[in-house]
Each structure stands twice: as C-alpha cells, then as structure tokens.
Structure 1
Amino acid sequence: MNDEISEPLFELHDIWAAFSILTRLPVPVDHTRAGLRANKAVWAYPLVGAGIGAIAAVFGYALLASSVPVEFCAAICILVLIATSGALHEDGLADCADGFWGGNSTERRLEIMKDSAIGAYGMLALIGFSLAQWSAVAQLMQENIFALFIGLGAISRLPMVLGMWIIPNARANGMSASVGMPSAQSVQLATGLSIIIAVICFGWQGIFICTAALIAAGGLFALADKKIGGQTGDVLGASQKCAELGAFLCIFML
C-alpha cells in the first residue's frame, strides 16, 4: 500500500514508455519500469502521436520543397507513419475487420483476431482506409503540413486512452489487458494534452475536430462491445484509424 501511495502519478520516463509501446523507434526506455507504469504512462499517448506526426511532416516538407508531386509526398508520409508505428494501427484494423465479420460467435471472433493471417475483410478495410487517408493527406498537406500531422497524430491517440478507461477488456490477456486500466488522472492529462495540441494546430476548430475523432472511434467501440463484449489491443489500434478518418471528415466540413 505504501509503495502505491509513493508512486508518482506522472514522470518524464512515461513518455519513453509510451513511445516503446506505440512505436518501433529506439528510445531510452527502462523496460522494467515501463512495464510497471504501463497504465499510468497512457497520458503520454497524444505526445507520441504528435511526435511521429512531426517525423512524417519533416519528410513531407522536404519532399514538397523539392517539387515532388503532392500525391507521392502523401504516400511517403503515410509510409513513414506506418514504419514508425510498426503498422500497429493497421494491424488492429485488419484484425478487427476479419474478426467482427468473419466469426459467428464471440469466441470465434476473438480467435480470428489473434490469427496473424489476414482475410478478405481485413484486406478490404486496409485498402479502403488507406485510400481515404491518402486522398485526404494529399488534399490537405500543402496548407500546413506540420499542424496537420502533429494535430491529427495527437488527437487520434486519445480514443485509445479513453477506450482502455471506459470499455472493459474482452479477454484476460493480450496487449490491452497487460497495460491495465489507466488512472483517472492519466486520462484527464491525456485529454487535456490532446485538446491543447488540437487548438494549437487547428485553432478553436480543433475542438470540433477532436470531437469528431472521438465520435468516429466511439462507433468502433460500440461495435466491438456488441461483437466481442469489450475492447482488445486490436480494437484500440483500430480506433486510431477510425478517429483519424473522423477528424479528416470534420476538417473537410469546416
């Protein structure tokens, strides 16, 4: 009990812990410490999204400055995002699509989602989401590429934190279960950081963009609750892709 009381709510190392969970970037992380604080470090998820968004923006800016066609620049930026995250979110999206529509029971759906093979539903979901993402990035990246990628990177990671906090785990093991339920303070800080970054990047319209992202991810969480009785690491990963598309849609409508 005394150890729990003395454990800090937030610490700088949480940022490296979050990067080690959500990316494949080499960061100076203490894996033992990161494992112990996995549920507390979720406050830094929006910072991770902003960080890898900034990396993609640097590549995109350099290519645009070199007069590379914007469509090709958009594709490279998306590939940079995939490489830095280790395709974590794309894998979750494909697994959810295969499991939700490929099984006829909760147990079978969860079994399919653990299978590393990709099926027709997963492939179609990846193609559809990737085309939508590419077309949106190609349309928007010339306006303010850093604001676009940093803002959406942060906003789209917030649903992962809220999902872990609100939606119960669908299975007793796996990535989401190993992280555990975040503390209320971590969720509040993640929410605050996401809103601040959104407003900095998009002005006050960032609040509407953040709201749209949460609504889109909320639809996925509702579907997951119906199909498998909760959330998993795959569902959390897929929520980032849904939130991103919801944010894009909001930007186009504003």
Structure 2
Amino acid sequence: MSRFLRHFLLALQFFTRIPVTGRVAEWVGFSPAMLRASAAHFPGVGWVVGLLSAAVFYGALWLLPPLPAAPWVAALVCTIFSVLLTGAFHEDGLADLADGLGGSAQRERALDIMKDSRIGSYGAIALVLALLTKTALLALLAQMGPWLAVVALFAAHVTSRTLPLFIIRTLPHVGDTAQSKSKPLAESLSNAGLWAGLLWWALAMALVWWQRPGATWAVAVLASLLGLAWMWRLLQRRLQGFTGDGLGATQQVCEVLFYLGVCVSFSPFLSFLPFSSP
C-alpha cells in the first residue's frame, strides 16, 4: 500500500499542479523506475481532476442565475479550472502533435517540430477547436441535466487517462530521449501496470453506473475507444511509435469523444436502447 500511494502521488505531482512538497515529497521519493511505475496511476489522476472539475462545474451552475447562458458560463469556468489544474499538460501535447504532423510529412522533421516550444498555426487551430468543442459539449450536457453533466465530466477524465495506457503498452516510444520530458514515464508499461490502471477505471465506472445506470456509458466509452483507435493508427503510421505529446493528444481526443458519446446516446435514433432519461 505504501508503494501504491507513493507512485500515485508521484503521478499526481507529474500531471497536475497540485503541490506534493516538503516532507511528503521526501517520503514519496523519486527515480526513473518509480516514474515509469506511476504510469499505472494515470486514471487515478483522472479521479482527482475529474472530481475537482465536476465540483467546480456543479458549483458554478448552482451559483449562477438560471438563465440560458448559465451552462455556457459554467462549462467555460470548468474548462479554465481543469486547464489550470493540469498546467495545460495534455493541451500542450495536442498542440505540439498537430504542429508536428501538420508541419511535415517526414517523420524526423515532424519529431523536430514537436520539440519546438513555439506554437504554430496547426497547433493553435487544434487547441482552439478542442477547447471550444469541449466547452460546447459540456454546456449541452448541462442543459440536458446538471447531474448528468457532472457524472459525465468525472467519467470522461478517468476514461481519457486510461486509454493512453494501451498506446504505451503496444507502441514503442520514439523521439530524442535526452530532450523528452515524458521518456522516463512512458517508455514502457507492464501487464501489472495496465491492470492497475484498468482497476482505477473499473471502480470509477462502477460509481458512475451506481449514480446513473444505463447504456449511455457504453456509447460514451465506445466513442472514446474509436478515438483511441484513430490516434493509435495515426501515431503508428506517421511516427512508428508514440511521444509524450501523442499521449496528451490522445487524452484530449478521448475526452472530447466521451462527451460527444454521452450526448449522442440520447439521440432519437438510439431510442431503442435502454438509456436513462437525460
């Protein structure tokens, strides 16, 4: 249990701006091997980010006047909060990957572009579209039902941090090891680590199902899996492996598609499935 908690806190320190300092940091310790092992706790970080973001979202909806614009304001506040909480870690990966793959069809040149800290037109467009789509879908979910939006927000953060584990497990890490901030963390993942990540996810989805049973979540997870398959194929075809930026982009794609899946699940075209009402 001590090792489990230390690896979790290390993942929390790496992927969020939540401070793990002082005596706690000394107790946690650090080594490249520990950092690699902490990859299994990506979904656990999703628990923290998802719960805090959901609380901010629900709190904003509760504080705002019941006007048509309230869901949009709450969605924007929640999005800003999640970006600040994670230090835009995954959004940065999305922008860098878009710049790299959009800037050159050559693998090595694309990897070089992704190392550049400056943002280009492809990255800016990808980032703006992702944030706008995320905000719009959260606003739509809030209009469908505030509690539905809160539960979906939590589930999306956990699921979108679980699926990149399959990329780590099945593709090689590529790029310049010396300059890659993700290399110590993402170079490999054991079967035990993958199962630990899936346990985090299963517990989250059990909680979600208890709160709102229905096939809605199956559609949402399926949508995220389609996003994972697309990103896996893209990374395999263009880079012959993954980078930290690729993992961040995968998280963003899977999160957005999870929200979209929840919304689509209430479409009249799927009324024959056993969904709960929004």
Secondary structure in 2 matching 1:157: helix
Map 1:95-174 → 2, pairs under 5 A: 95-141=96-142, 142-173=146-177, 174=180
Aligned residue identity for 1:79:
I
Partner of 2:275: none
Please say if residues 169 and 231 of structure 1, whose CA atoms lie closer than 8 Å, have aligned partners that are also in contact.
yes
The match for 2:255 among 236, 244, 253 is 244
Q: Which residue number in structure 1 is paired with residue 200 of structure 2?
A: 193
Q: Are positions 1:176 and 2:182 aligned together? A: yes
Deviations 1:183-228 (A, max 9, x none): 1111012113213312421435334422321220221121111111
Q: Secondary structure at the match of 1:211?
A: helix
Q: Which of 230, 236, 246 lines up with 2:241 in the alignment?
A: 230
2:57·2:150 contact (CA, 8 Å) conserved in 1? no
Q: Distance in 2 between matches of 1:44 and 1:24?
A: 16
Q: Distance in 1 between matches of 2:207 and 2:232?
A: 28
- Describe the SS at the equivalent of 2:35: coil
**Per-residue CA shift, 1:121-142, capped at 9, x if unaligned?**
1111111111110111111132
Q: Distance in 2 between matches of 1:221 and 1:130?
A: 22
CA contact (8 A) 1:15 1:41 kept: yes
* Equivalent in the alignment of 2:54: 57
Aligned counterpart, 1:3: none
Distance 1:199 1:209, change over 3 A: farther
TM-score in terms of structure 2 length:
0.82
Count of residues paired in the alignment:
247
Q: Which residue of 2 aligns with 1:24?
A: 17
What letter corresponds to residue 181 of structure 2 in structure 1? M
Mapped partners of 2:245, 2:218: distance in 1: 26
Q: 1:163 to 1:10 in 2, by over 3 A?
A: farther
Question: What is the Cα-based RMSD across aligned positions, in Å?
Answer: 2.0
CA contact (8 A) 1:9 1:185 kept: no
Task: State the AA in 1 paired with 2:79.
Answer: I
CA contact (8 A) 1:195 1:207 kept: no
Change (3 A) 1:34 1:60: farther
Contact 1:175 1:232 in 2 (8 A): no
Once the two structures are TM-superposed, the CA of residue 114 in structure 1 deviates from its matched residue by: 0.4
What does the per-residue CA deviation read over 1:46-96, in whole Å, with 9 as the maximum and x for residues that have no partner? Answer: 111121111112222222111251211100100111011110111011111
Greater Cα shift, 230-239 or 160-169? 160-169
Equivalent position of 1:4 in the other structure: none
Pair member with larger Rg = 2
126-135 or 140-149, larger mean C-alpha shift: 140-149
8 Å CA contact retained: 1:198, 1:210:
no
SS at match of 1:52: helix
Structure 1: how far apart are the matches of 2:250 and 2:3? 25
- Once residues 138 and 53 of structure 1 are traced to their aligned partners in structure 2, the CA distance between those partners, rounded to angstroms, is 16
Runs of 5+ consecutive residues of structure 2 not aligned to the other structure: 266-278
- Separation in 1, partners of 2:33, 2:71: 43
Q: Which runs of 5+ in 1 are unaligned?
A: 1-7
**TM superposition shift of 1:172:** 4.6
